[in-house]
């Protein structure tokens, strides 16, 4: 499953065929993609989704070292769209998001050379 929208909906527990929240979820995804673009991830001219046709490959290309982007997008969208009711879970997700943001930034700035 390479669709950005479909994969985030799955992680949020929203059935792929249930489209009632698609506009809301896409708006939140696009906000997070904008932040990632500021960190140097994705096309230089920016990127947004408008349907389930847009894919992770469209956004990160063939970079296998940026898989954390997917979890980061999910975490940030979840905090906006469907935050947990327990405060400690919100804080845990925020902390994980900060860690992923730092790691993604390091990777984009020329992270470890594994060759």
Write the pLDDT tens digit of every residue in 32-88: 999 999 999 999 999 999 999 999 999 998 888 899 999 999 999 999 999 999 999
Looking at the domain assignment, is residue 69 inside a domain? yes
Residues 3 and 54 sit within 8 Å (Cβ to Cβ): yes
Task: Note whether residue 67 is domain-resident.
Answer: yes
Indicate whether this model's pTM tops 0.85: yes
Please check whether residue 89 lies inside any domain of the structure: yes
Alpha-carbon separation of residue 58 from 26, 47, 80, 81, 93 (angstroms): 15, 9, 24, 24, 26
- Tell me which residue range forms the domain holding 33: 4-108
Chain-centroid distance of CA 112 in Å reads 22
The confidence score (pLDDT) of residue 12 equals 96
Residue with tokens 């902390």: 95
The number of folded domains in the chain is 1
> What percent of the chain has pLDDT above 70?
95
Supply the pLDDT for residue 1. Answer: 59
Q: Is residue 33 part of a domain?
A: yes
């Amino acid at each position: 499953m390479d669709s950005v929208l479909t994969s985030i909906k799955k992680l949020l527990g929203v059935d792929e065929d249930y489209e009632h929240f698609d506009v809301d979820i896409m708006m939140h995804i696009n906000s997070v993609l904008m932040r990632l673009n500021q960190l140097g991830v994705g096309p230089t001219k920016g990127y947004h989704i408008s349907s389930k046709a847009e894919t992770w490959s469209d956004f990160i290309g063939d970079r296998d070292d940026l898989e954390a982007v997917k979890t980061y997008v999910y975490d940030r969208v979840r905090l906006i769209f469907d935050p947990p009711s327990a405060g400690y879970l919100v804080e845990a997700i925020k902390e994980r998001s900060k860690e992923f943001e730092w790691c993604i930034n390091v990777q984009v700035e020329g992270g470890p050379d594994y060759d």
